[in-house]
Structure 1
Amino acid sequence: MEFSERLDALATKVKNQATAIGTEEATKNAFVMPFISTILGYDVFDPLEVVPEFTADVGTKKGEKIDYAIMRDGEVQILIECKPSMGPLKIEHASQLFRYFSVTNARIAVLTNGVAWHFYTDLDAPNRMDAKPFLVLDLLDIDETLIPEIQKLSKESFDLDSIISAAEELKYIGALKREIAGQFREPTDDWIKFFTSRVYEGAFTQKVRQQFTGLVRKAALQFLTERVNDRLKTALGVSGITQVVEPTAMPSAEVAEADLDRDTEIETTLEELEGYQIVKAIACGEVKPQRVTHRDAKSYFAVLIDDNNRKPVARLHFNGRQKYLGLLDEDKTETRHPINDLDEIYDHADSIRDAVRRYRG
């Protein structure tokens, strides 16, 4: 099995089991040890390769332990600190990593909850672990560009010099990508003003700022979902001619003012589009992807077959504090299932497929 295939297999396991893992020990057994063994290729039962509960007294701190130390040629190369899978990762969780990093030969430190993996090194000061990771791997949303870098840490392809030399670029590219993603989710005033000034010739007043906040967010989300759909079509080998409609230019303030009067009460969010893509990915096992469409409304975001309201697959109720996935039976009676994370949609994959099968003909 190829490296990327092993990573995908572990990612599938994480998606299916993450909500059932509640303790740090369970996280180690279910996710961390498989990552060390199947992804990085080290023998977790060989103390010459992997030392659990690694101890190295640091100053007045005696008997503190790091969850795992990965060894090569008798030297510590990678330190791993684990947290429960359902908990967020914060730099405050890495205090022991900071201390151990400075007194061992390790150049790589890892903080993980089994789902997210934060990789650190010492770019800012020699032998002192950086406060920010140079690489962030999320097994629920794998960035394929990072796979070759992760592979460099595996036993078979270990290339520490290469990954250290690339770490600075990885650090800033990763940070920039996360910042861009944040702007897609919730654009800042600077982001809104930047794009508004490119298409609107009038003064950037408070009214204009308020109106363009919604327009910029919608434009960004539409751009994102179009790119996702293009990638999905390419991955699934969907052929066909796509009609390209050139956007109308905004040559004057009067044209822009006309756009400001459009109804903006219905707001499609990034979460709704991400939820739609999950439902669509599940549905594509039963029908061609171009048949799966969506419509947004004030009260819910609908996923449909053939863009037909009489062929509903699911409804995403994401406008309130509690999110719900609405599933409909053969009589179109809806049952709402509370979800706290979008990945919980996968728990209802069978019901989604059943709904799609009703309209497969």
Structure 2
Amino acid sequence: MELSGRIAKSTPGPLGNENCPRVTISQAFLQHGGPMEFQDRLAALATKVSNQASAIGTEEATKNAFVMPFISSILGYDVFDPLEVVPEFTADVGIKKGEKVDYAIMRDAEVQILIECKASTGAPKIEHASQLFRYFATTNARIAALTNGVIWQFFTDLDAPNKMDAKPFLVLDLLDIDDTLIPEVQKLSKDSFDLDSIISAAEELKYVGALKREIAGQFREPSDEWIKFFTQRVYDGSYTAKVREQFTSLVTKASRQFLTESVNDRLKTALGAGAGVAIPVAAEATATVSSEPATQADLERDTEIETTLEELEGYQIVKAIACGETKPHRVTHRDAKSYFAVLLDDNNRKPIARLHFNGRQKYLGLLDEQKVETRHAIDELDEIYEHADAIREAVVRYR
């Protein structure tokens, strides 16, 4: 929908670098009619942010390295055309004269999106958005963005007309992209700008996103209320301090196991396996099996394979690095009993890396041109980035 002229505000309808863990956009979106070009641009910028964030130390560097590319390649506006993008946008606001917002995106000579930037070294906070609050009330903008180049927080005026909300309706983390938000981000782009659709979906996005972040936080570090909530549903005795201490570790363990099992179930579904059917994890496992003893042997062998969250996060790091040389959907994985393989084109003859995470010491396995593997000991997952060049070289060999 193309909008032109002055957009009047109206009353809304009813009712968070190399140390970052992962960059991911699912294959499912690619395979079901998603905009390939838009998604590829988003994945490329996410990889750039992942690789360079630790080297960016100032607000100006953040603007040049991350924010302007986002405005240009993702939103599709010409950052060098003052009719589309106005840097250091100024409007006198009450007693605050000459204050500036970092960027104003224009459509038909009217402000549509205001952007305030902070250095990528710190998370964007609502305390950083004072100019956005003031400018939002005095311009035609219905959308405001606060960003550190890595995390983009988008605001509108759901709570009160002409007044920017204190909480964002959309949060895009380029180091951990939520696939469900990709179509909503695209609505903000120049070619697909649809203000009515954005505003109508904003309320649901705002609360669903906030709930997802809260649930994720509880899985990472459960609060006393969360622990008590579940304890009282499974434990019939009194909820004493001793019981709370005992169930704190139990609730945490159960939460992590639940996530792991959910991930495994999704992997089985993605690979086309039905309930109770083992996932094919290596070339020898994909051969046709006709005898019952052989089938039972395969099942017994594969039930010993457990794909852990740590392996999946390691895979996402390797994928983020590999995407500098290839498209994201080409980087896949297979879990085996002895290692977790990252492959190009789901081909075990094109290994990019192997993750040996089953022992006390973790290793990153890298293979040379003759498929000879060298294992590199790592203590933390972010040490994988130290081998980025070798990972990219492996991708280039098979390209």
How does the TM-score come out when normalised to structure 1?
A: 0.73
Secondary structure of the structure 2 residue equivalent to 1:288: strand
Residue 289 of structure 1 corresponds to 335
The answer to whether structure 1 residue 33 and structure 2 residue 83 are counterparts is no
Of the three residues 355, 361, 385, the one matched with 1:346 is 385
How far apart in 2 are the matches of 1:136 and 1:312? 33
Q: Label 1:188 to 1:311 Cα distance change in 2 as closer, same or farther (>3 A).
A: closer
Residue 127 of structure 1 corresponds to 162
**RMSD value over aligned CA atoms?**
3.1
* Residues 282 and 349, structure 1, Cα contact 8 Å, conserved in 2: no
How far apart in 2 are the matches of 1:213 and 1:200? 13
Residue 5 of structure 1 corresponds to 40
How far apart in 1 are the matches of 2:363 and 2:391? 6
How far apart in 1 are the matches of 2:37 and 2:312? 26
Deviates more, 1:1-10 or 1:32-41: 1-10
Secondary structure of the structure 1 residue equivalent to 2:73: helix
* Residues 362 and 378, structure 2, Cα contact 8 Å, conserved in 1: no
Kindly state the Cα deviation for residue 162 of structure 1 after the two structures are TM-superposed: 0.8
Kindly state the Cα deviation for residue 9 of structure 1 after the two structures are TM-superposed: 1.1
Fraction of identical pairs, as percent: 71
Deviations 1:236-277 (A, max 9, x none): x47587579xxxxxxxxxxxxxxxxxxxxxxxxxxxx65542
Kindly state the Cα deviation for residue 346 of structure 1 after the two structures are TM-superposed: 3.0
Pairs within 5 Å for 1:36-55: 36-55=71-90
Kindly state the Cα deviation for residue 288 of structure 1 after the two structures are TM-superposed: 3.0
Q: Label 1:145 to 1:286 Cα distance change in 2 as closer, same or farther (>3 A).
A: closer
Aligned residues: 297
Residue 183 of structure 2 corresponds to 148
Deviates more, 1:219-228 or 1:108-117: 219-228
How far apart in 2 are the matches of 1:173 and 1:76? 28
Kindly state the Cα deviation for residue 60 of structure 1 after the two structures are TM-superposed: 1.6
How does the TM-score come out when normalised to structure 2?
A: 0.67
Of the three residues 230, 255, 258, the one matched with 1:195 is 230
* Residues 280 and 289, structure 1, Cα contact 8 Å, conserved in 2: no
Of the three residues 214, 225, 239, the one matched with 2:249 is 214
* Residues 363 and 376, structure 2, Cα contact 8 Å, conserved in 1: no
Residue 313 of structure 1 corresponds to 363
Deviations 1:26-52 (A, max 9, x none): 111111111111111111111111111
Residue 304 of structure 1 corresponds to 356
How far apart in 2 are the matches of 1:88 and 1:142? 16
Secondary structure of the structure 2 residue equivalent to 1:2: helix
Of the three residues 165, 169, 177, the one matched with 2:204 is 169
Q: Label 1:36 to 1:310 Cα distance change in 2 as closer, same or farther (>3 A).
A: closer
The answer to whether structure 1 residue 83 and structure 2 residue 118 are counterparts is yes
Kindly state the Cα deviation for residue 312 of structure 1 after the two structures are TM-superposed: 4.6
How far apart in 2 are the matches of 1:353 and 1:210? 46
How far apart in 2 are the matches of 1:230 and 1:54? 50
How far apart in 2 are the matches of 1:352 and 1:228? 25
Kindly state the Cα deviation for residue 62 of structure 1 after the two structures are TM-superposed: 1.4
Q: Label 1:200 to 1:348 Cα distance change in 2 as closer, same or farther (>3 A).
A: farther
* Residues 143 and 156, structure 2, Cα contact 8 Å, conserved in 1: yes
Secondary structure of the structure 1 residue equivalent to 2:79: coil
How far apart in 2 are the matches of 1:282 and 1:123? 37
The runs of 5 or more residues in structure 1 that have no matched partner are: 245-272, 295-302, 315-328, 355-361
The answer to whether structure 1 residue 96 and structure 2 residue 131 are counterparts is yes
